[in-house]
Amino acid sequence: MTTASPATPHPMLAVAPEVREALAAGRPVVALESTIISHGMPYPSNVAMAREVEQIVRDHGAVPATIAILDGRPTVGLSDDQLELFGADGGIRKVSVRDLPHVVATGVHGATTVASTMRIAALAGIRVFVTGGLGGVHQGAETSMDVSADLTELARTEVAVISAGVKSILDIGRTLEVLETLGVPVVGYGTDEFPSFFSRSSGLPVPMRVDTPEQVAALMRASFGLGLGSGISIANPVPEADEMPRADIDAVIERALADCAERGITGKDITPYLLGRLVELSDGRSLNTNLALVRNNAVVGTAIAVAYAAGA
């Protein structure tokens, strides 16, 4: 995929002045998604998290660029009032790449997923994107064929995505197999084991490891410079003090999945339902871990963006 130059974001985008100036000057910018605000956490924790993460990015030397669709316009960089809107309005549509044309054409608001945030970030010239966890292959996908568009977007959009791994509710082993087939580099940041979102371990190895922001930046330059056309998945484990042990979270996930099946919930509604149900079943522990891993990803992702901009 050919992306716009950092100095000239795609003309269909609305880019906040602060973000546009940083891109034009070659300063570090970190993309952030809006689905995690609208569909990933309850209000008002979601808005507080969004504001805190933006501040973490600023405090560590980069410009935050939360991405969303506002009145049909892909928007890169939200105001404080717009963050509040996306957190408080329960009717905002969840928008993946396939949904972008319809949302733009109909002029409505939309919260961008990992996949659509990646695409819009690339159109703006942003190379680093921080999120909580990746989508992937759902449990039972051998019959449902439910596989997140996050994986195919990673295969075709040159953005480094910093996450705490694949969401624990998914089939992590099959997700890693699909990423391998798609040619997406999956890199453990300071770990030899692929993290599983709420937990630091999954029992599965990462194909490669890096330990510093500078090493990630070098990897990005090599991948993008070779014209491979894919993004990079940087798997950054949740801090040890904040993780939920696998035995604890696995039991909760099993019950949440059973509830989901009983209610007949399918498609893009599965992940928001399961994440909300996990908060209930874990007495809030999963929400606290989710918040901790997002903060940690913001710190690491900003350091990577700073290192990448320094050598670009």
- List C-alpha distances in Å: 290 to 36, 43, 285: 10, 14, 9
Q: How far is the C-alpha of 208 from the C-alpha of 165, rounded, in Å?
A: 14
Phi, psi angle pair for 267, to nearest 5°:
60, -140
- List CB contacts of 180: < 8 A, sequence separation 6 or more: 186, 207
Tokens at 118, concatenated: 């990646």
- Residue pair 156/115 in contact (Cβ under 8 Å)? The answer is no
Instruction: Report the predicted TM-score, pTM, of the whole model to 2 decimal places.
Output: 0.92
Q: How far is the C-alpha of 18 from the C-alpha of 25, rounded, in Å?
A: 11
Q: Is residue 45 helix, strand or coil?
A: helix
Tokens at 285, concatenated: 């522990």
Q: Is residue 158 helix, strand or coil?
A: coil
Nearest to 93, CA basis, from 72, 111, 68, 75:
111
Q: How far is the C-alpha of 300 from the C-alpha of 234, rounded, in Å?
A: 10
Nearest to 90, CA basis, from 51, 45, 33, 38:
38
- List C-alpha distances in Å: 21 to 25, 28, 34, 77, 179: 6, 11, 22, 12, 34
Which amino acid belongs to residue 57? V
Position of tokens 């909760």? 252
167 is catalytic: yes
Nearest to 235, CA basis, from 198, 203, 196:
196
153 is catalytic: no
What's the DSSP call for residue 267?
G
Nearest to 302, CA basis, from 54, 62, 27, 52:
62
Give the long-range contacts of residues 262-271, CB within 8 A, separation 24 or more.
266/144, 266/146, 267/146, 268/94, 268/96, 270/138, 270/146, 270/169, 271/39, 271/135, 271/167, 271/169
Conformation bin of residue 63: beta by default, left when phi > 0, alpha when psi is -120 to 50: beta
pLDDT tens-place values along the chain, 312 residues long: 333 344 579 999 999 999 999 999 999 999 999 999 998 888 998 999 999 999 999 999 999 999 999 999 999 999 999 999 999 999 999 999 999 999 999 999 999 999 999 999 999 999 999 999 999 997 777 777 889 999 999 999 999 999 999 977 789 999 999 999 999 999 999 999 999 999 999 999 999 999 999 999 999 999 999 999 999 999 999 999 999 988 888 888 888 888 888 888 877 677 778 777 888 888 888 889 989 999 999 999 999 999 999 985
Q: Is residue 279 helix, strand or coil?
A: helix
**Is residue 209 classed exposed, middle or buried when 0-12, 13-18 and 19+ CB atoms within 10 A define those classes?**
middle
Q: How far is the C-alpha of 126 from the C-alpha of 118, rounded, in Å?
A: 9
Task: Please tell me which residue in 94, 158, 167, 268 is annotated as part of the active site.
Answer: 167
